[in-house]
Amino acid sequence: MHSFGHRANAVATFAVTILAAMCFAASFSDNFNTPTPTASVKILNINWFQKEANGNDEVSMTLNISADLSSLFTWNTKQVFVFVAAEYETSQNALNQVSLWDGIIPAKEHAKFLIHTTNKYRFIDQGSNLKGKEFNLTMHWHIMPKTGKMFADKIVMTGYRLPEQYR
Amino acid sequence: GMDWQGQKRAEMLMQVLLVAAAVAAFLVGYLRGDFQLMLLVYAGGVVLTALVTVPNWPFFNRNPLKWLDADEAERHPRPQVSAAGAAAGGKKKSGKNK
């Protein structure tokens, strides 16, 4: 601590060390948040449902997606990535996941939403397994923090079924 | 340069001020729910700490070292190194060379 440069260096290094500790504490404080998110997805219409030339089933649907994810936001939240996936079981795979829609929520004020949309990404099965198929629509989200660990969670909505016939 | 007591005080002050700034910044940020505010308060604390502890202020120089004058020192020749002291010194050297 005998010279100007030595003291300046000591202040800078100790300040950055403490900054790291503050970031750790901010990330840790996220554990005290107990979010109560809600979500619901309604299938308003099956627009069409067919087998493609390559043998894969594809379905187009109109969805009503509503959710209130504002309780996920804390002071350490940068943004939340959210997507809705159709999830179902086939003889080949215990879990098939097809993302139908996604979005980025940049702030708490935008975390309560209602969206009326056709599926943003194509709902195609790897085969011909969709006739009369029972499936879940699951809302997944990833909370991206300003500092620290990323959290992921989901709400599973059950009891959806595709038509028995192509249309 | 700064005197010995001043250096000790400067380091203490630096650590206390930075930790205090960090605690205050975290509390303000957490309670107001504003991460950026935490960073701004802390940045202010760091600047303040640097201003207080980095320059060689007069209050870090209240205990100046009292060196002997050169002619005063010459009137009192260096004491002879004792046999025990020389042996210890030799040991230390050989240890270092290992």
Provide the number of structural domains found in chain A: 2
On whether both A67 and A103 belong to a single domain, the answer is: yes
Domain count, chain B: 1
Q: What are phi and psi of B71, to 5 degrees?
A: -70, -30
Taking CB atoms and an 8 Å limit, are A1 and B34 in contact across chains? no
pLDDT band at B18 (very low <50, low <70, confident <90, very high): very high
Closest alpha carbon within chain A to B14: A11
Q: Give the list of residues 6+ apart from residue A53 with CB closer than 8 angstroms, or none.
A: none
Q: Is the pLDDT of residue B40 over 80?
A: yes
pTM: 0.81
**Is A45 among the domain residues?**
yes
Q: Is the pLDDT of residue A40 over 80?
A: yes
CA distance A107 to B15: 36
- Do A38 and A110 lie in a common domain? yes
Is it the case that residue B7 has pLDDT exceeding 60? yes
B11 in any annotated domain: yes
CB atoms within 10 A of CB A86: 23
| Statement to judge: residues A4 and A61 lie in one domain | no
Q: Which residues of B touch A15 (CB under 8 A)?
A: 18, 46, 49
> Does any domain span residue A20?
yes
Q: Answer yes or no: is A119 within a domain.
A: yes
Q: Which amino acid is at A149?
A: K
The chain B residues in contact with chain A (CB within 8 A) are: 1-2, 7-8, 10-11, 14-15, 18-19, 22, 25-26, 29-30, 32-35, 38, 42, 46, 49-50, 53-56
Which member of A4, A11, A25 has the closest CB to residue B26? A25
Residues A142 and A92 in one domain: yes
Q: In this complex, which of B15, B35, B56 lies closest to A76 when CB atoms are compared? A: B35
Same domain, A95 and A19: no
Does B23 score more than 80 pLDDT?
yes
Distance in Å, alpha carbon of B62 to nearest chain A alpha carbon: 15
Q: Which position has the higher pLDDT, B74 or B5? A: B5
Q: Answer whether A109's CB lies under 8 Å from A163's CB.
A: no
Q: Do B7 and A26 touch (CB under 8 A)?
A: no
Other Cβ atoms closer than 10 A to B53: 24
**H or E segment at B47?**
helix B35-53
User: How far out from the chain centre does Cα A37 lie?
Assistant: 12
Are A149 and A90 within one domain?
yes
Is A16 in the same domain as A82? no
Give A59-106 pLDDT, tens digit per residue. Answer: 999 999 999 999 999 999 999 999 999 999 999 999 999 999 999 999
Please state, in angstroms and rounded to a whole number, the distance separating the CA atoms of residues A29 and A12.
26
Q: Does A138 touch chain B (CB under 8 A)?
A: no
pLDDT at B28: 98
Assign residue A78 the CATH number of its domain. 2.60.40
Question: Using an 8 Å Cβ cutoff, are A18 and B18 in contact?
Answer: yes
What burial letters (b/e) apply to A8-22, b meaning 16+ CB within 10 Å? Answer: eebbeebbeebbeeb
| Closest approach of A102 to chain B, Cα-based (Å) | 27
Q: Is the pLDDT of residue A163 over 80?
A: yes
Q: Is residue B76 part of a domain?
A: no
Residues A11, A89, single domain; the answer is no
**A166 in any annotated domain:** no
pLDDT above 50: residue B96: no
Structural domain including B15 reads 4-56
Of residues A142 and B76, the one with the higher pLDDT is A142
8 Å CB contact of B35 and A19: no
Question: Which residues form the domain of A8?
Answer: 1-31
Distance between CA A105 and CA A82 in Å, rounded? 8
Residue A148 and residue A77 share a domain: yes
Strand order in the sheet with A134-145: A96-105, A77-88, A134-145, A151-161
E strands in A12-75? 38-51, 57-68
Q: Is there a contact between A127 and A57 (Cβ–Cβ < 8 Å)?
A: yes
Asked whether the beta carbons of residue B54 and residue A76 sit closer than 8 angstroms, the reply is no
Considering the domain boundaries, does residue B14 fall inside one?
Answer: yes
Is position A101 within any domain? yes
Within 8 A of B29 by CB-CB distance, chain A residues are 26, 75
Residues, chain A = 167
Name the residue in chain B with its Cα closest to that of A78: B35
Q: Does any domain span residue B90? A: no
Mind giving me the DSSP string for A107-157?
A: SGGGSEEEEEEE-SS-EE-SSS--TT-EEEEEEEEEEEESSS--EEEEEEE
